[in-house]
Structure 1
């Protein structure tokens, strides 16, 4: 059953041994757990149809979008948002492979290699049949007892028909707890249990290993037989990503041996070109006295696979005598394989350690565009040997990675006050940091030499991730505002780097004319002192041409400038970095001065202008609105506190006066006695109860602000209303908080976005409830999201932006759900206030729940047997 712990079946004479052997696998007690034959109870799709009443404002947009779409396609470009051929979730994904910013390979929970993000920002959704693990079991006399592909898929229609497919899915169990996963294969008829541990080096505060394009597969092999067994695990992999480009030819392979201190590995490197970029796949096995390694440097993945299969069947090894050195011709493909074989005594265990590396050191976003270099090349930069070196590095250090991961995760996993579903959700939603199209790039010396020394980009480079797998814009800032809690808590230097980029682009202008699709109005790409919506499209030239988003004129969005200010304030409360604050202060002043011009009537609140001018880009607001006014007063309060910190008395006075005026207007114009109204235009939907109306309070409170910007009694009244209406009256309280709810208890269907539930917004609301003492309600609100996404509709590891009450979802693989990390920060602060009254306010603000440096190993690398305490 999804989410529950299922013990693998025990074999004869194996009860005592099983308890011992399970410790070796470091199998967790928490995570997302399903059997390999699991099916999800609900099927949804993305065929969204607007309601009749929503059509008038959308039809003109659609017509203009259609013209733009066809023009973009005619130029050979992918549109940054494709509303014509939207993606659909496949109910198959598990923990992806790879570190941050160097490309990722998605894996299904049944073991498929099925989603490739090699070309920056572009996803390819092919399940590659030739990428497999094969087990061979032999008795002491050398007789092959069992050989099978460790895949539940049936015999492929084309290719590899000599292989034996169809592992019994009922005999397998999967557990995902990012950045690791475990797959258990119970081969009952042979008295063998295999446990494959997949590890990616995604480690908080580690800025070297976390960027590596590697994954380790550690196979624990448990023998429950009264006599020894020889067990081989072979790993095969083909060129490309499963698409038509794989047959372009020019692939070649070579075997290698590599040593790193006492670690010796053997493997195969597969060289190829992918969209003009050099890519090398590398497969490696760690050689030990009890593990022999053989390799196949080339076989035809389109053929029957008979030669490789029979090689394994004869003696559990691969034949390396025929080494191909020629390049493939057009129409051909090439696959390679490695194999580890070990002899396992009766009622004992063995281990085979493997690594997969994909090395694409340079990337180009646009044909003949700027060449960028990935960060990992700082340590692994030699083109011909980098992949081999990273493979050896991974197999030498993976145990340390696991120690660090466990030291990071255990405070959460061992906290009895936290619900089990949350322990799965908080780590598994973190997949998006790596698998969200992220790039982590070195800046060239001619750029860093112009930056001040305190600028994080000098040492940590440039980091960017997509808004979603479908909405291909880097660092979409109105959304990153929610997601940034993950970065600021786990990789703060990446948050700083992103902010330095945004500050630089904010003050600049791009006066290139363009037509905005929503209204057809003319404008320019970007005005000065307007925070960018995004850092650009990977199909264009990001970081050079920002603001790929073209639906609205984002230079006049009301929330972007305020979100920049609030992030600077929040970041400073975490970092206490005065250089950072001083650098950002002039930019904050400039964007706030621009925002003051949005107060058209001088009442102290900025006005929305009857168009979608904020993150809810089809939910139109008029005049002062709950959402933007909440951000406005919070930003003013942040400016006051930052001015005090910097001893800027003139600005402190200016913003203090503005804050006093804004707080009064907020209460007079939007407070109705129970909650803040959606807006002030007087239309029926103006009384909508918006789930995101306390967004400013959320940020201020979690940043440690002591000023009561939002009246305490008002905040609690709003939270109770939201829980009763937006949560409890939406899908029986089992799917988070709907964005808009009418006072009569019906869903606000004024626009498509008002009737959606946004996952990231719900997590932010849950965090607000928790910090305000509504802990049970907060976790209950968020639990409905997790249960729906991971257990009911099967969209884990591609969590969408939005869910409808029934049948539909929107925008798979989305950034905003990373806001779940604000829930843990809220919980941490609440527990400290509750249990440690002696802790000063400053200590509460300064402490982060995780150490600033990678945790030191707690036991020797080789001592896997002493891991029983890890999951207790």
Structure 2
């Protein structure tokens, strides 16, 4: 596998990136904004001594190219060909073959990202377990040092103070580094678990912009830090580095395991243009004051339970002999975006908590947000979340539920502020009442307060958003029925119904010819926001049919007989119009324009969502579905790069790539996953694996974009790395489990083994 980056560290709500070469980079500590600097002072160092205390080897445990402008005394002496990296989110393993010095070393990196466990999954920490094996015939003394500096770049602001302090707390010992990230207090804690046969030493200060000779030489000479420090408590308006070192004697043939932990306690954050201060979700359990050491203790005492829970989550997939190995890796590694998607997770503020009923899920599970992409700084972009939401609904369903309650409330909001649209220069009201917004706000603005910041089109006229809200409500209700951490139940439907009803009424105004089927307006009025649909379209029309059926089901569940009959009547009219206008005998036409012959990879999106909700052919005829899928496979998959790069969005039937728009000639990774899911529901397994197999190989083995999967792949380029939509790979797993178990409603794994223990 060819990589640029590796498995990030940290739970849900703020991460630090790790490169596969050992880098600490791609910091997401400032909410919604990334810093891509590789911080050279943030490093692991190994020192190997023989029984006579002679140093045999010392090196940083990284192989990336250092600048040598700073810390020039820190030497990289590893042979990269003797190092091996394995990433299976949320864990990673780095193997260092130091056989020439009698040692084999493995670092196991563990982050607390655990399905159905909301307490531990919120923690800003990672544990590093060092497996040190002595393969020589003599005793070895091995030191693993861990250094870290203030801020999240090599040169940080000198306008705010920082300070370090030594600590010993219960079973751990280490150093805290108090500093500020964009004027927000943050405490780093480096800690090691205390063991009788291991010595923990500390460096309270080194200058990370110097040559680094002093701490380096101390490790080389003694295998320990000598409490190198300016002062223990004085504040410094400058760059500050600190570190810990664990030294252990390893007998011939023996194995020792030092355990280290990194915590970044940043309990209260805000956004650049917002006045609201938010408490991170973990403060619900650990408080807003001096939580770092409590998290250290919790992590070092519980990481083995985390690993067991992660194993039980992944084991059914990894041991399924019928699944391709590349898919097993992709399923879990695509999940990185849950924590590393510019993600934030907050408790409710006191005022909002008092306003909402006690039964509101946000009271217990807080507010969750993730970016559309690392380069697209809108939170919870809803047309894209529609695809990505399977990762939440299947693994952290109460975060999905929390978000749905936010969007339910957003439906009724109105913002009269008018903004100029980039597409046509016209002014539009920011938020129209009784419509689903595009997003929860800008990470550089005031998100969750100022919503709907997408500036390209008037999204109140988009034809997919309202349908997608209704379909998610039904999917969530059906999917969670068997979850032991809480079915959403009919109360969820009751709470959502008014919002569903009013947005469907809004969408009915898009039916300009009164045949029951909505029409697109001749501008990019849906998630393909640079691809024009005119008149009735396969994509938006199909979503509308599915949403009408969803309303029939929901109304029936709630005994709203009049509404059920109304929606059923509209659905029957719309089904006839959809068939008459768009079905050509082989596939559904793209729309009603001269571009109708374009085969759209996503034309069965509405049918796919109903399948994921446990339904079959109540809306779309089986023969049509099978014919359309086979046509898509033959055109969009096999005629595009011989089936090696996923499904191109548009393909002129049996002719060529549809080049009428940028997005028609792209492969969308998340759409390709959803297409494969739909194929599996229709028992087209070999075609499904072919559809996504080439794309996964391209992403991981050819262009190295694991852990930053892009939205789009062009013929010779890619666009928007680190994107939300590829989380739709979890719909592939849902389809697979449905096929294996003949039920789309069963959980992914035995949840009773995974739910969090009472606080």
Partner SS state of residue 442, structure 2: coil
Aligned residue number for residue 632 of structure 1: 544
Distance 2:342 2:460 in 1: 25
Deviation for aligned residue 1:390? 0.8
Aligned residue number for residue 703 of structure 1: 613
1:103-152 superposed Cα distances (whole Å, 9 cap, x missing partner): 11011111101110110000011011111111111111211111111121
Distance 1:792 1:231 in 2: 37
Partner SS state of residue 196, structure 2: coil
Residues 750 and 765 of structure 1, relative CA distance in 2, 3 Å threshold: same
1:492 aligns with 2:397: yes
Partner SS state of residue 181, structure 1: strand
Distance 1:370 1:363 in 2: 9
Deviation for aligned residue 1:724? 0.7
Deviation for aligned residue 1:473? 0.3
Aligned residue number for residue 538 of structure 1: 443
Counterpart among 510, 515, 521 of residue 603 in structure 1: 515
Aligned residue number for residue 457 of structure 2: 552
Deviation for aligned residue 1:191? 2.0
Most deviating of 219-228 and 373-382:
373-382
Partner SS state of residue 214, structure 2: helix
Distance 1:845 1:734 in 2: 29
Distance 1:641 1:153 in 2: 56
Counterpart among 121, 146, 170 of residue 210 in structure 1: 121
Distance 2:265 2:236 in 1: 22
Distance 2:691 2:105 in 1: 38
Distance 1:138 1:210 in 2: 38
Deviation for aligned residue 1:852? 3.6
Aligned residue number for residue 692 of structure 1: 602
Is the CA contact 2:34–2:374 (under 8 Å) kept in the aligned structure 1?
yes
Aligned residue number for residue 754 of structure 2: 855
Deviation for aligned residue 1:705? 1.7
Aligned residue number for residue 581 of structure 2: 669
Counterpart among 189, 211, 222 of residue 282 in structure 1: 189
Aligned residue number for residue 803 of structure 1: 713
Is the CA contact 1:404–1:855 (under 8 Å) kept in the aligned structure 2?
yes
Is the CA contact 1:466–1:472 (under 8 Å) kept in the aligned structure 2?
yes
Partner SS state of residue 127, structure 1: coil
Distance 1:706 1:365 in 2: 44
1:242 aligns with 2:153: yes
1:242-268 superposed Cα distances (whole Å, 9 cap, x missing partner): 154344451111011111xxxx11011
Aligned residue number for residue 635 of structure 2: 725
Distance 1:856 1:829 in 2: 23
Partner SS state of residue 573, structure 2: helix
Distance 2:69 2:190 in 1: 24
1:185-218 superposed Cα distances (whole Å, 9 cap, x missing partner): 0012112111000000000000000000001110
Aligned residue number for residue 178 of structure 1: 89
Distance 2:67 2:343 in 1: 33
Q: How does 1:32-71 map to 2 (within 5 A)?
A: 40=2
Counterpart among 733, 743, 747 of residue 824 in structure 1: 733
Partner SS state of residue 173, structure 2: strand
Aligned residue number for residue 143 of structure 2: 232
Partner SS state of residue 295, structure 1: strand
RMSD of aligned C-alpha atoms?
1.4
Distance 1:117 1:482 in 2: 24
1:328-380 superposed Cα distances (whole Å, 9 cap, x missing partner): 655x3011100111111101111110000111100111256111110101111
Distance 1:651 1:688 in 2: 36
Deviation for aligned residue 1:163? 1.9
Distance 2:720 2:704 in 1: 15
Aligned residue number for residue 479 of structure 1: 384
Aligned residue number for residue 680 of structure 2: 770
Residues 822 and 856 of structure 1, relative CA distance in 2, 3 Å threshold: closer
Residues 155 and 690 of structure 1, relative CA distance in 2, 3 Å threshold: closer
Residues 614 and 595 of structure 1, relative CA distance in 2, 3 Å threshold: same
Q: How does 1:739-818 map to 2 (within 5 A)?
A: 739-806=649-716, 808-818=717-727
Partner SS state of residue 188, structure 2: strand
Q: How does 1:158-557 map to 2 (within 5 A)?
A: 158-242=69-153, 244-259=155-170, 264-320=171-227, 322=229, 324-325=231-232, 327=234, 330=237, 332-367=238-273, 369-383=275-289, 385-557=290-462
TM-score (norm 1): 0.85
Residues 796 and 269 of structure 1, relative CA distance in 2, 3 Å threshold: same
Q: How does 1:101-116 map to 2 (within 5 A)?
A: 101=13, 103-116=14-27
1:826-849 superposed Cα distances (whole Å, 9 cap, x missing partner): 00001123xxxxxxxxxx244222
Partner SS state of residue 496, structure 1: helix
1:454-511 superposed Cα distances (whole Å, 9 cap, x missing partner): 3110100000000000000000000000000000000000000000000001111111
Counterpart among 41, 47, 50 of residue 136 in structure 1: 47
Most deviating of 458-467 and 575-584:
575-584
1:370-401 superposed Cα distances (whole Å, 9 cap, x missing partner): 11110101111152x31111112111111110
Deviation for aligned residue 1:582? 0.5
Aligned residue number for residue 484 of structure 2: none
Most deviating of 467-476 and 267-276:
267-276
Aligned residue number for residue 32 of structure 1: none
Distance 2:236 2:259 in 1: 33
Is the CA contact 1:361–1:374 (under 8 Å) kept in the aligned structure 2?
yes
Is the CA contact 2:415–2:431 (under 8 Å) kept in the aligned structure 1?
yes
TM-score (norm 2): 0.97
Aligned residue number for residue 485 of structure 2: none
Partner SS state of residue 279, structure 1: strand
Is the CA contact 1:489–1:850 (under 8 Å) kept in the aligned structure 2?
no
Partner SS state of residue 707, structure 2: coil
Is the CA contact 2:274–2:446 (under 8 Å) kept in the aligned structure 1?
no
1:619-652 superposed Cα distances (whole Å, 9 cap, x missing partner): 0000000100110000011111111111110011
Residues 368 and 444 of structure 1, relative CA distance in 2, 3 Å threshold: closer
Aligned residue number for residue 6 of structure 1: none
In the alignment, structure 1 segments of 5+ residues that lack a partner are: 3-39, 41-90, 834-843, 858-872
Distance 2:554 2:274 in 1: 44
Deviation for aligned residue 1:750? 0.2
Is the CA contact 2:587–2:624 (under 8 Å) kept in the aligned structure 1?
yes
Distance 2:544 2:511 in 1: 10
Is the CA contact 1:375–1:461 (under 8 Å) kept in the aligned structure 2?
yes
1:623 aligns with 2:528: no
Distance 2:81 2:124 in 1: 32
* Aligned length in residues: 749
1:612 aligns with 2:524: yes
